[in-house]
Amino acid sequence: LRKDAAQSGAGDPGVVRAVADFETSETAWRGYRDAECHAVFDNWSAGTIRTSMELGCRLHLTRLRTHTLWLNWLTYMDRTPPILPEPPVPPVR
């Protein structure tokens, strides 16, 4: 969340909790991404493709996360257009 958006709702306990929970989820997601993609690297550690596989994992998970953030934070429940266009969702391999 943008800090100015969080500050504008600083008096609202729901906004304060949402910002704190968002930051917690980002930290947890980064930990998951790092662990998952490190495991992919280890799985391919015998080959020269290991770095490419790890980077591919990071890109794939980041694209999925970007779409999730767009869906949860940048869209509206009604027909109001989203703040930004919908990011593409990577295909499942």
> For residue range 15-45, what is the model confidence (pLDDT) as tens digits?
889 999 999 999 999 999 999 999 999 999 9
Residue 5, pLDDT score: 54
For residue range 48-71, what is the model confidence (pLDDT) as tens digits? 999 999 999 999 999 999 999 999
| DSSP, residue by residue, 37-93 | HHHHHHHTTTSTTHHHHHHHHHHHHHHHHHHHHHHHHS--SSSPPPSSPPPPPPPP-
Tell if the pTM clears 0.85, that is, is over it.
no
pLDDT at 87 over 80: yes
| pLDDT, position 63 | 95
